[in-house]
Structure 1
């Protein structure tokens, strides 16, 4: 990896993935639907795997840059707001909110791909972006399916 900027960006994404992992674990424990529970555990594990893969790219796990801390703080606030809303809502609300958080994570990865100096790192981030896109698409389809059943 080249440069402190790349390290800061990777540390930022690691923090976002850890936050997402925790959020999916929370959701898995909270939903009643066993299929959703299984999916959320799978997604938490996927976030953990991405964080571990990215951790291999940096010497230290904690970013020193202010931008890294700011993004992590924004994502934690987003997850906290969503958790507060979800404490009283249904499985479909979980799916909708998780789909929205996946969209934010996608944006974070896209921006980082365009900002890193290392071409190899950009390629690796793009691979992770693809798996996050798959997760987002799954959440979108599940939300549409649940909403379709509720309309019937």
Structure 2
């Protein structure tokens, strides 16, 4: 124990006049110094620490942003599709992805986080349907190619999230439910692309 700690605890280590702190003050100070370790071990539910929850919220919000970008890509594709069948398909997929994003937002709220919203769409992440607008003038085949490329991107993001072994069972289930829609959209766009070749 250092001399200052000894002094603080009321024991004399030198010829200096004895300064004794009341025992209750000592205990309160000791409790305050251990507060950070106490907070680090707090769990919100089912043994998930705050750090793990922060990770889960980050993963979910990343998927929300990617999914919202998918909604935007499908909406853009629907605006300029020449074929009415493709237009309807793109609008349907956009609506479905909005529902996926809504479910993922709810999962973030359940984790105690603030879900990503339309105002934060991929400020720092990859834009999903990057070349969509420029390819519109090249016909439906070019649009399908871009949409399918976007579907490859979103599927890869979900695949990576599902490989994350730090996720809780609840978060993993929310992602798997969303992934079913993503995989179906990916497979459908891939089949359409191959049928046009």
Q: Within the alignment, does 1:75 sit opposite 2:129 as a pair?
A: no
Structure 1 residue 138 displacement after superposition: 0.8
For structure 1, list consecutive stretches of 5 or more residues without a partner in the other structure.
Answer: 64-68, 148-152
Q: How does 1:27-106 map to 2 (within 5 A)?
A: 27-59=77-109, 60-62=114-116, 73-76=124-127, 78-79=128-129, 81-106=130-155
| Separation of aligned partners in 2, 1:49 and 1:72 | 21
RMSD: 2.1
Q: TM-score, normalised by structure 1?
A: 0.82
| Separation of aligned partners in 1, 2:167 and 2:81 | 41
Counterpart for residue 33 of structure 2: none
| Separation of aligned partners in 2, 1:62 and 1:42 | 22
Q: Bigger relative contact order, structure 1 or 2, given CA contacts below 8 A and separation 6+?
A: 1
Of residues 163, 183, 196, the one that matches 1:114 is: 163
Large movers: runs of 4+ above 6 Å: none
For structure 2, list consecutive stretches of 5 or more residues without a partner in the other structure.
Answer: 1-44
Structure 1 residue 86 displacement after superposition: 1.5
Counterpart for residue 22 of structure 1: 72
Q: TM-score, normalised by structure 2?
A: 0.64
Residues 50 and 72 (structure 1 numbering): CA distance in 2 closer, same or farther, change over 3 Å? farther
- Rg larger in structure: 2
Would the aligned equivalents of 1:11 and 1:62 in 2 still touch at CA under 8 Å? yes
| Separation of aligned partners in 2, 1:73 and 1:28 | 25
